[in-house]
Amino acid sequence: MRVSITDLSNDFELANGTCGYSSNTLGVIKGAVDIVQLELRARMVQYLGSLV
């Protein structure tokens, strides 16, 4: 799962790199937020799975 998240964020940075520095920076920030949300979601799923 971590590999796919990293690949997605790399693609995101490359896609935004063509739009200039400011949009690339926004893309990196948004990518980081998305990664954090995916991590939290994965941990919640693992936690709920351990309860069942």
pLDDT tops 70 at residue 49: yes
Q: Are 32 and 13 in contact (CB under 8 A)?
A: no
Q: Does the pLDDT at position 48 exceed 80?
A: yes
Give the pLDDT confidence score for residue 30 in this predicted structure: 84
Q: Which residues of 21-47 are buried (b: 16+ CB within 10 A; e: fewer)?
A: eeebeebeeebeeebeebeeeeeeeee
The parent domain of residue 18 ranges over 2-51
How many domains, in total, are found in the chain?
1
pLDDT in tens, 4-45: 555 655 555 555 555 455 566 777 888 888 888 999 999 999
